[in-house]
Chain A
Amino acid sequence: MFNYYLRLAWISILRHWGLSLLMVCAIGLGIGAAMTTVTVNYLMSANPIPEKSQQLYYVQLDSWDVNHPFNDGLSPPDQMTFTDATNLMRAKKAFRQNVQAQAFGVIEPENPDMLPLIVYGRANSADFFPMFNVPFIYGSGWSSTSDDNKEFVVVLSKKTNEKLFGGEDSVGKSIKLEGNIFRVVGVIDNWQPKPRFYDISTGAFNDSEDIFVPFHLIVDEKISRSGNTNCWKPAGDGFQAFLASECIWTQFWVELKTQQDKSDYLQFLNAYVQEQKQFGRFQRPIDNRLSNVMQWLESQEVVADDAQMMMAMSFMFLIVCLLNTVGLLLAKFLGKAPEIGLRQALGASKRTLFSQYIIESACIGILGGILGLILAYLGLQGIEILYGDSMKDLATLDSNMATLAVLLALFSTILAGLYPTWRACNIQPAQQLKSQ
């Protein structure tokens, strides 16, 4: 009977095409609006490294002003001082640890015909690459020995490698960056974690960097530092004074395998802060935090409030569309009262009629879902045009979202069809047959 009901639904949709089109448009608009915002929220709140997000921890120490707490005392500073980051690195208490900051520089290509290339980079520790499962097409990251020996090594993004070396294996080759010769040790494959969890201080949805260099090169002023810097007291004159200041500008991540490791590391941090207090630092109560990836993204409100508000509003719009659909379905089904009465006379029970009309509702829902998908795609394109490259990877419908759109349309239309269908099934056949 399912095929028969499908056929009847199709005939009915075609026969009452105007009414059907209105319903499909109403559902399509609602689903389109809802799916556009759901997709953005879904991608914003996605786990960017699910395989080990529970083992990676962002480290926060409260080194801030005793009289004016950071973030009104709600959370410790979101970055770390160079002093603390260096001390924690030296301690090597975690399975892996990484200190990093944003950097930039200019590459002078060997080819005299090419213009100098401004690149955005990351200065980080050797552990950055294995910690964050960075994929390589050529070579690998540098070793901790390279960090210790302050070697001029560089890892290129795939895009940068294409620009400089035409996409060939460039491992072992050299580039001139900020006047210094760097040896290429690896080329990263396409890698754009969204959100860019490892540094959300400079934009959670920005692209990954063009180059990666050892962190110490910033310290030695071989490459320029960029990114956010916050200070609660004057840093003093000169770069060395800045490094020794209480300004926060580095991010510190550790990889801890077990909960026991995490507990041990937190104890270590507390002991460290206690020790620093003896030097007149960390005047505030101890508030050290280890946040795994998702906790960190949540605490930093990576999914913006306005995005969630938009999603809520779009769902309200969907409800309005569905209420319209309820009215239209009611008009359609009650308009078929004579046919319903006749079908009852010919042997259709309320149950079979319910199946028939719920399947018709579902068919309209699927058509609405398909239209909704198209509208959601257009909506996402619109968002990308409006917000530019930062939304490039967020304005994408994946198969999960496409399936969700159709299921949402199907489910919501069936829900909207319940009352009209129930009313249709309770039509008294005798009255309809006489009046036809």
Chain B
Amino acid sequence: MLVMKNINKIFQTADIQTHALRDFCLQVNEGDFVSVTGPSGSGKTTFLNIAGLLETFTDGEFLLDGEAVGQLNDDGRSRMRNEKIGFIFQGFNLIPDLNLYDNVDVPLRYRGFNAKERKRRIEESLERVGLASRLKHLPSQLSGGQQQRVAIARALATSPRFLLADEPTGNLDSEMAQGVMTLLEEINQQGTTIIMVTHDAQLAQRAKRTIQVKDGRVSELEKVTPIMNQAIA
């Protein structure tokens, strides 16, 4: 379970303070598929970065699987990212020098799995996204949709509890986007909690829950779950 209570994030420059998140509250339960929408600059990505422990927050409380994230040092945050969170980015973010096998291998190396276990997981996850036959291909030899599938395979290889996706279909045509979305739905059905930031209203509707972020707050809830800011305040 992911719980954020009154999270504030202020970006400070010499002259300007920017409140990216203001008293941001959210609870995401096990098995949820939450889509996060909102206009540009509303704080969606900041929320996702904080949820993914890629960025610290100014104040508030953030519990990930019951553990207070604010207390963790760099090693602890890295370990938690590696063990509990998988990322999917708009730009795929594959390492161009490494083939598919080695790209998927990256988080497994940091987990400390032995070679046999890593091989099993890499092959399984690439099989799951339909790219098992292309282990030795470089990312540049794949289409955008295939690259995003590799990114999903990499995210799944560590069996994360949470999958955080930032505009996962933003760089794909509609057909490829549908394919990726279907894959995410399958993954969610198998038990992985997904939080997806998207601009695409149609795709957002396919999630179990949709929240809208505006001016750094969760301003609106649609669809299923009756959780509001005050619900966990």
Contacts and interface: CB of A to CB of B under 8 A. Distances in A.
A1 interface: yes
B106 A343 contact: yes
Given A346-B87, A346-B110, A349-B75, A433 B95 contact: no
Contacts of A342: 93, 95, 106
B54 A4 contact: no
A347 B107 contact: yes
A430 B82 contact: no
Contact of B79 (A15, A344, A347, A434): A347
A436 interface: yes
A345 interface: yes
Interface in A318-369: 338-339, 342-352
B166 to A, nearest CB: 7
B82 A347 contact: yes
A350 B81 CA distance: 13
Interface string A160-190: 0000000000000000000000000000000
Contacts of A349: 74-75, 77-79
B91 A344 contact: no
Given A4-B109, A345-B52, A347-B107, A433 B78 contact: no
A344 to B, nearest CB: 7
A356 to B, nearest CB: 10
B111 interface: yes
A434 B111 CA distance: 24
Contacts of B75: 349, 351
A429 interface: yes
Nearest to B111: A347
B106 A346 contact: yes
Contacts of A4: 109
A429 B154 CA distance: 17
Contact of A1 (B54, B91, B109, B158): B109
B13 to A, nearest CB: 14
B54 A430 contact: yes
Contact of B87 (A338, A339, A345, A348): A345
Contacts of B49: 430
A276 interface: no
Contacts of A344: 54, 78, 81
B138 to A, nearest CB: 11
B40 to A, nearest CB: 12
A433 B55 CA distance: 12
B158 to A, nearest CB: 8
A11 B78 contact: no
B89 interface: yes
Nearest to B53: A345
Contacts of A339: 95
Nearest to A343: B106
A430 to B, nearest CB: 4
A12 interface: yes
Contact of B166 (A12, A346, A348, A434): A434
B45 A345 contact: no
B54 A345 contact: yes
With a 10 A CB-CB cut-off, give which of B52, B74, B78, B83 has the most chain A CB atoms.
B78
Q: Tell me if A's interface is mostly helix, strand, loop or mixed.
A: helix
Interface in A1-23: 1, 4, 11-12, 15
B93 A433 contact: yes
Interface string B42-62: 000100010010110000000
Nearest to B154: A346
Q: Give the one of B77, B82, B83, B109 with max A CB within 10 A.
A: B109
B97 interface: yes
A433 B89 contact: yes
Contacts of A352: 78, 110
B74 A350 contact: yes
A348 B87 CA distance: 14
Contacts of A436: 89, 91, 93
Nearest to A351: B75
Contacts of A430: 45, 49, 54-55
Contacts of A351: 74-75
B97 A15 contact: yes
Contacts of A15: 97
B187 interface: no
Nearest to B45: A434
Contacts of B91: 433, 436
Contacts of A347: 78-79, 81-83, 107, 110-111, 158
B98 interface: yes
Interface string B179-211: 000000000000000000000000000000000
A311 B82 CA distance: 50
A262 B152 CA distance: 83
A9 to B, nearest CB: 11
A427 to B, nearest CB: 11
Given A339-B95, A343-B110, 17 more contacts: A1-B109, A11-B97, A343-B106, A345-B87, A346-B87, A346-B154, A347-B78, A347-B158, A352-B110, A430-B45, A430-B54, A433-B87, A433-B93, A433-B166, A434-B45, A434-B89, A436-B91
26 contacts: A1-B109, A342-B95, A342-B106, A343-B106, A343-B110, A344-B54, A344-B78, A344-B81, A345-B54, A345-B87, A345-B93, A346-B82, A346-B106, A346-B110, A347-B79, A347-B110, A348-B78, A349-B74, A349-B77, A350-B74, A350-B78, A428-B55, A430-B55, A433-B91, A433-B166, A436-B89
Task: Report the 8 A-B pairs with minimum CB-CB distance, sorted nearest first.
Answer: A347-B82, A349-B78, A347-B110, A346-B107, A430-B49, A430-B54, A436-B91, A430-B55
Interface of A: 1, 4, 11-12, 15, 338-339, 342-352, 428-430, 433-434, 436
